[in-house]
Amino acid sequence: MLLKERFETEIAARIRKELDLANPMEVPRVVKVVVNMGVGEKDNPKVLEGAVANLTKIAGQKPIVTKAKKSISDFKLVAGDPIGCKVTLRQDRAYEFLNRLFNAVLPGIRDFRGLSVSAFDGRGNYTMGLSEQMTFPEISYNEITKTQGMDITIVTTARNDREGAALLKGLGLPFHDA
Residue 9 lies in a domain: no
Among 128, 34, 121, 41, which residue's Cα sits nearest to residue 76? 41
Is the per-residue pLDDT at 35 higher than 80?
yes
Structural domain contains residue 37: yes
Within-domain flag for 13: no
pLDDT surpasses 90 at 34: yes
Looking at residue 176, the DSSP 8-state letter turns out to be: P
3-state SS, residue 78? coil
Q: Kindly provide the residue ranges of all beta strands, DSSP E only, lying in 68-147, ordered along the sequence.
A: 82-90, 126-130
For residue 100, the enclosing domain spans 28-171
pLDDT per residue over 67-77, tens digit each? 888 887 777 77
pLDDT score of 145: 66
Is 93 inside any structural domain?
Answer: yes
Mean pLDDT of 15-28: 86
The predicted-structure confidence for 77-96, as pLDDT tens digits, reads as follows 778 888 888 999 998 889 88
Specify the 3-state DSSP secondary structure of 3.
helix
Q: What is the mean pLDDT of residues 17-41?
A: 86
CATH number for position 115:
3.30.1440.10
Count structural domains, the chain.
1
Helix/strand/coil for 70: coil
DSSP 3-state assignment of 34? strand
- Pair 34, 153: CB distance under 8 Å: yes
